[in-house]
């Protein structure tokens, strides 16, 4: 076996082991950084592909990344509840967001969850369902068009075989994406439940077993819980965004960046109208 294949197998085994084996805080911090890096890499890859089949491994990758993120959640929860420490990354995120105000940190976390769960994940799930249905419905027509071109001598037998294979791969991909979006939805729900457990059980453990004052326990475990929620939800948000980009790519000949700049800025007159409208609104505000 190649080293690349062995490394992937080892990574999958490590993910499963994370669910049962306690990890030291320094290793948790390292794995959290790896999780953030992988999520950003997936997002950038989805933005630079020209068609969905160029990222055909995405449904399976989505499952592995979701399992990895849940394994990290289990590890951080175990560390928070047993030791009151989940590493520098979790504590830094929590301290930075909370900023001395526990309510602000909780509100920011809730907003991130709402954005991911209700806006991006819900929309991606619906688009995946529609794309899978339309792709399956269009298969007979595409197959007939390939047969017609082959009978008319417009394409060779090799070209026809390649086009049939591509049609089948598209159907398989969108069908898999329809199921893969359920992973993202379930991950968001699990993240909310884990945060509630960390917050409530952590305060109880802090007061009963760690001899903390109630206010100290609230501050300490809220900071860790918010930090843990953020380092989990930010990669989840990036993956959800990548999922939405993958399933909404249609009728394109370039990557997302070239399509946006090429189509949105194709008519300079619209930019002048938009700029004039903003200037008019600003002038009206100053006049009032």
Q: Which sign does the torsion angle of CA 55, 57, 61, 62 carry? A: positive
**Number of compact structural domains in the chain:** 1
Residue 51 counted as domain residue: yes
Residue showing tokens 């249609």: 250
pLDDT at 119: 73
> Does the CA dihedral 198-203-208-210 come out positive or negative?
positive
Burial 177-186 (b: 16+ CB within 10 A, else e): bbebbebbbe
Q: What is the pLDDT of residue 194?
A: 81
Residue 265 lies in a domain: no
Domain membership of residue 202 (yes or no) is yes
Query: How far apart are alpha carbons 124 and 230 in whole angstroms?
Result: 21
Domain-located, residue 35: yes
Query: What pLDDT score does 1 carry?
Result: 57
- In the numeric block, the tokens 């030791």 are attached to 83
How many Å apart are CA 246 and CA 259, to the nearest integer?
A: 14
What pLDDT score does 216 carry? 78
pLDDT computed for residue 286 by the predictor? 60
Q: How far apart are CA 56 and CA 83, in angstroms?
A: 41
Domain that holds residue 161: 18-250
Q: What is the pLDDT of residue 9?
A: 80
DSSP 251: S
* Alpha carbon distance 277, 279 (integer Å): 5
115 alpha carbon, distance to own chain's centre: 12
What is the C-alpha to C-alpha distance for residues 127 and 26, in angstroms, rounded to an integer?
A: 40
pTM of structure: 0.77
User: Rounded CA gap, 252 and 262, in Å?
Assistant: 11
Structural domain includes residue 1? no
Q: Helix, strand, or coil here: 175?
A: helix
DSSP 55: G
- How confident is the prediction along the chain (288 residues), in pLDDT tens digits per residue? 577 767 778 777 888 787 788 888 888 888 888 888 988 998 888 888 777 777 778 888 888 888 888 888 888 888 888 877 777 888 777 777 766 677 777 787 778 777 777 777 777 677 777 776 777 777 777 778 777 877 877 777 787 887 777 777 777 777 777 777 777 777 777 777 887 887 788 888 887 777 778 777 777 777 788 888 888 888 888 887 887 777 776 556 666 677 677 777 777 777 788 888 888 887 765 655
């Amino acid at each position: 076996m190649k080293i690349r294949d062995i490394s992937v197998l080892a990574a999958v085994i490590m993910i499963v082991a994370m669910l049962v084996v306690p990890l030291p805080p320094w290793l948790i911090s390292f794995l959290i950084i790896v999780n953030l890096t992988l999520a950003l890499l997936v997002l950038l890859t989805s933005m630079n592909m020209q068609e969905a089949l160029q990222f055909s491994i995405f449904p399976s990758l989505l499952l592995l990344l979701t399992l990895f993120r849940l394994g990290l959640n289990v590890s951080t929860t175990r560390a928070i509840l047993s030791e009151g420490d989940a590493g520098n990354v979790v504590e830094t995120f929590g301290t930075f967001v909370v900023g001395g105000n526990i309510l602000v940190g909780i509100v920011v976390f809730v907003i991130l969850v709402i954005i991911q769960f209700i806006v991006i994940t819900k929309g991606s799930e619906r688009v995946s369902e529609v794309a899978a249905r339309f792709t399956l419905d269009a298969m007979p027509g595409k197959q007939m068009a390939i047969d017609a071109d082959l009978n008319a001598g417009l394409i060779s037998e090799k070209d026809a075989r390649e086009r049939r294979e591509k049609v089948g791969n598209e159907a398989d991909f969108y069908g898999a994406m329809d199921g893969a979006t359920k992973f993202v939805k379930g991950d968001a729900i699990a993240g909310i439940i884990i945060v509630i457990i960390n917050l409530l059980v952590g305060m109880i453990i802090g007061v009963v077993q760690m001899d903390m004052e109630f206010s100290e326990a609230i501050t300490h475990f809220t900071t860790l819980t918010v930090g843990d929620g953020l380092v989990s939800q930010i990669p989840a948000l990036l993956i959800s965004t990548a999922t939405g980009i993958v399933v909404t790519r249609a009728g394109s000949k370039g990557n997302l960046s070239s399509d946006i700049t090429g189509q949105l800025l194709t008519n300079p007159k619209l930019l002048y109208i938009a700029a004039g409208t903003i200037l008019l609104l600003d002038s009206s505000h100053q006049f009032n």
